[in-house]
């Protein structure tokens, strides 16, 4: 994959980590790795990014019982 164009992006935000003894690291972390063939259009890349975000959010909701 190293010969294909791509990006790796990380984003962090503070969040409540809870109270001891169940305290977690008080940070929300999101990492995105995206690779595409050189001739992919912006619209194709955008569609895959949106699909991944929707699938991630659905998985989060499922785990949280929402």
Encode pLDDT of 24-38 as tens digits: 899 999 999 999 999
Q: How many CB atoms lie within 10 A of CB 34?
A: 14
> What integer pLDDT is reported at residue 1 of this predicted model?
52
> What integer pLDDT is reported at residue 66 of this predicted model?
83
∠ Cα 47 53 56 (to 5°) = 140
Q: What mean pLDDT is reported for the chain? A: 93
Name the more confident of 22 and 55.
55
The pair of structure tokens assigned to 6 is 């791509």
pTM score, whole prediction: 0.80
Model confidence at 23, in pLDDT bands (50, 70, 90)? confident
> What integer pLDDT is reported at residue 2 of this predicted model?
60
The pair of structure tokens assigned to 48 is 């895959």
């Amino acid at each position: 994959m190293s010969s294909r164009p791509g990006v790796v992006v990380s984003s962090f935000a503070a969040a409540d980590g809870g109270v001891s003894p169940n305290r977690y690291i008080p940070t929300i972390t999101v990492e995105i790795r995206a690779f595409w063939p050189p001739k992919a259009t912006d619209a194709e890349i955008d569609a895959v990014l949106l699909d991944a975000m929707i699938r991630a959010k659905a998985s989060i909701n499922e785990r949280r019982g929402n």
